[in-house]
Structure 1
């Protein structure tokens, strides 16, 4: 078989212990992004006989997980979800999602709630938190992964330390709402000044066995970037830039629909007239993704976040960078800022552009030896 850039492993979803190293029939696809599930896809050969039997043993959705590695760096890892053997070749395609997917499969309730003695509508299932937004994000995941009276909550996860100090943000999560842990976590990231969240997989060894674990990284509100500035030079470590402008979601005023009916419905509201003053028309948006929220300040926070996100001149940048050139993959993470030095580009003026890396990925169209950066770009001229 041809030598591959990447390797892949199968590990137990609940313990993280690596079970198998995999032969790959093609380079994998993967995507890691802040505040997002992410995931990937691999293709493995089916060699028949005992080889195929072994593949059938590990290709079990959710019980087992996949990790994609570039050297010792784990690019992305998480539970197997779909799979499909080819109809005309001895190949199997297996898809997986990032760690966040497991949180999307769990109802958020108080970790001390006991279903043997109380219904989910009982107050003992409720969670009430007053703290900083990063600490609330941590508490949500803690309640979803350390159940005291239900089995199966353990996952190979490292929670960060609780930040010192007491915040004033209030969140009440009644158990009867039966929202998922993942949904509530994502809502925290979407509010104004909400923290970045990234579940970063890594490979470790214990007792002679390899394990894949996940660090929960929480920003305050942005993730901390250690080390020197990242820089990618056009036509060198920066291989290519693709740019697409899209104003379909642009807005300078946001209405966020909360709980209630008709005239009794709560709404968050925020506006920014900067673009209007510069010649844009009024552009409204209605965000109906928070209809269970009943706290006015929280709804207003989501509205401010929507205006901050959609109230600029948006451009979608995707940078193709060399995976092994300085700075190499593994030395930076989604959420970090980087400088992109551009010269003689057919669209952009020469200059140094500093943008945040929202995600790092590899697709079937990514050149060999490279990865893609999805950037939080704003057109400035």
Structure 2
């Protein structure tokens, strides 16, 4: 008798979330979820031939259907099927899927009231202007992407968070003619100085006797945090292993962010931090070209400051392997939460308690059974 699968996988309707099929698996799924990132995964299903293979062809349809990976009732990751690859020499099929954010990476941002039948995308009616707090701006962007009045197909199984009280003075003018995607604009919000964390968390629910996978849009203010004390994982117990990789290839102490314009008329954001230089490091510059449509100097400077916070003192990456069923179990926390990792007898680290934020949670072919991987917020090597 074969080993019981640790994970299960289902197919669900991308637009409604209704679960349609429980899948047979040829191997444990791989999946990853990360704050401010798309995430995704892949499954391998057998192709036994005849009617069962015909059923696979029915659901293996990119974008129309989505894959959900579950551990018990916890939905680890879910989102649209994108590529798949049957093999002539093997009776199995590899199906890859992306996280929910990928759907917003294929959806243009415009005012929900814009009517393409009466106005071009360059018309002011397609523009969206928002003055609010950064978390509320993110929520408004998503809201306009889900409720088109004059275009079909905007429905998605997404729960928006409550509007935060108090408002704010941040201004964002999104022009239809910029033809920017919703996912891109959300990503940009997370990258400015003080920008909010975002995560699309899938969950399983039941309605009318049918199962559904829906997604919660979680928005930090600015960080996604949990109430109460940090989680705790103990080395050689709930913390199975801790790997560390030092890499200074992205280290920078000055950031230039390229905005809109040409040649000498190009706008640039700028930020610098001389802390490392004063301590003996050389000057290390970076040029960020991910925001070339931005036309606000303050916004560009905010991105530059955020780049320095991200790349200015963080050349060491930590990954922890923790037990999925032990306290705290998988499903009781999400990327963005803080955790204490109690280390004793490690070959590199002094004994002590190290407190970091969980940026991502994943499971791959190399992850031990009963465990998941934590990608921790990068820290500066001592």
TM-score, structure 2 length as denominator?
0.98
Contact 2:315 2:381 in 1 (8 A): no
Give a deviation string over 1:117-167, Cα, whole Å, max 9, x none: 000000000011111000111111111111110000000000011111121
Shift of the alpha carbon at 1:86? 2.6
Pairing 1:189-200 to 2, within 5 Å after superposition: 189-200=190-201
Structure 2: tracts of 5 or more residues without a match: none
In 2: Cα distance, 1:264 partner to 1:89 partner? 57
Query: Hey, what does 1:111 align to over in structure 2?
Result: 112
In 1: Cα distance, 2:86 partner to 2:153 partner? 30
Shift of the alpha carbon at 1:380? 5.2
Deviates more, 1:158-167 or 1:71-80: 158-167
Shift of the alpha carbon at 1:224? 2.9
Query: Hey, what does 1:154 align to over in structure 2?
Result: 155
In 1: Cα distance, 2:65 partner to 2:364 partner? 23
Query: Hey, what does 2:20 align to over in structure 1?
Result: 19
Q: 1:85 to 1:227 in 2, by over 3 A?
A: farther
Query: Hey, what does 2:375 align to over in structure 1?
Result: 374
In 2: Cα distance, 1:241 partner to 1:29 partner? 20
1:276 and 2:277 matched? yes
Give a deviation string over 1:89-128, Cα, whole Å, max 9, x none: 2111110000000000011111100001000000000011
Query: SS where residue 43 of structure 1 aligns?
Result: strand
Task: Give the total of aligned pairs.
Answer: 381
TM-score, structure 1 length as denominator?
0.98
In 1: Cα distance, 2:314 partner to 2:57 partner? 49
Query: Hey, what does 2:139 align to over in structure 1?
Result: 138
Shift of the alpha carbon at 1:282? 1.2
Pairing 1:62-101 to 2, within 5 Å after superposition: 62-101=63-102
Query: Hey, what does 1:175 align to over in structure 2?
Result: 176
Pairing 1:1-381 to 2, within 5 Å after superposition: 1-379=2-380, 381=382
In 1: Cα distance, 2:146 partner to 2:191 partner? 22
Shift of the alpha carbon at 1:344? 1.1
Give a deviation string over 1:290-337, Cα, whole Å, max 9, x none: 010000110010000000001104211111111111111001100001
In 2: Cα distance, 1:87 partner to 1:57 partner? 19
Structure 1: tracts of 5 or more residues without a match: none
Q: RMSD of the alignment, in Å? A: 0.9
In 1: Cα distance, 2:32 partner to 2:188 partner? 21
In 1: Cα distance, 2:314 partner to 2:84 partner? 40
